[in-house]
């Protein structure tokens, strides 16, 4: 006769203890996975908020003298006077020049950051194969504390540029 011949199964008390232990282990596993997921989402949202708040205060414009924007097309590029607003330093500027035959993109226009409440007079060199310049779009780039962000909603567009 074997030791367990007279037992028909696990007693309800042992079964309950096993179910509780299994539930606690499964709950701990799900919570650890959920915690990692929530942390990833929180970091993403925080990074997005930093970019939005920085971009909200960034502001660039073309200097106007007697109502005329100081931007023109010369043989060596587009001459332009850019003014930065009083709230945010710009890391760089992204330029897109659209012409009659194509588009030229310059990812980093500045040689050094443009500090807040400062201006710069610069020449944007571009590929002459794009034809006559129809539009120039300048987009500010800011430092969010952890990365460079492009503030596309604060971009400025210039059209009908005259020859210098």
Is residue 133 included in any domain, yes or no? yes
Is residue 8 included in any domain, yes or no? no
Is residue 81 included in any domain, yes or no? yes
Which two three-digit tokens encode residue 139?
């987009």
Q: Render pLDDT for 26-77 as a digit per residue (tens, 0 to 9).
A: 988 888 887 777 777 665 555 454 445 678 888 899 999 998 899 999 989 9
Q: Is the pTM of this model over 0.85?
A: no
Domain span at residue 134 reads 58-163
Q: Is a pLDDT exceeding 60 seen at residue 5? A: no
Is residue 26 included in any domain, yes or no? no
Instruction: Of 95, 61, 65, 59, give the one whose Cα is nearest residue 77.
Output: 95
Is residue 129 included in any domain, yes or no? yes
Is residue 49 included in any domain, yes or no? no
Is residue 44 included in any domain, yes or no? no
Q: Render pLDDT for 68-123 as a digit per residue (tens, 0 to 9).
A: 899 999 989 999 999 998 888 999 999 999 999 999 999 999 899 999 899 999 99
Domain count, the chain: 1
Residue found by looking up tokens 């606690």 in the block: 24
Is residue 18 included in any domain, yes or no? no
Q: Tell me the residue ranges of DSSP E strands in 63-152.
A: 64-65, 68-69, 71-74, 77-84, 92-99, 103-106, 119-124, 133-143, 148-150
Return the CATH number at 109.
Answer: 2.60.40
């Amino acid at each position: 006769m074997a030791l367990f011949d007279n037992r028909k199964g696990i007693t309800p008390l042992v079964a309950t203890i096993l179910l509780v232990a299994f539930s606690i282990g499964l709950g701990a596993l799900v919570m650890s996975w959920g915690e990692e997921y929530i942390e990833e989402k929180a970091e993403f949202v925080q990074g997005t908020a930093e970019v939005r708040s920085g971009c909200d205060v960034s502001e660039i414009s073309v200097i106007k003298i007697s109502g005329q924007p100081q931007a023109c097309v010369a043989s060596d590029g587009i001459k332009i006077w850019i003014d930065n607003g009083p709230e945010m330093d710009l890391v760089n500027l992204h330029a897109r020049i659209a012409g009659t035959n194509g588009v030229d993109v310059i990812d980093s226009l500045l040689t050094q950051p443009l500090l807040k409440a400062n201006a710069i007079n610069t020449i944007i060199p571009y590929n002459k194969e794009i034809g006559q310049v129809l539009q120039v779009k300048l987009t500010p780039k800011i430092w969010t504390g952890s990365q460079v962000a492009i503030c596309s909603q604060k971009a400025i567009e210039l059209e009908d540029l005259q020859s210098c």
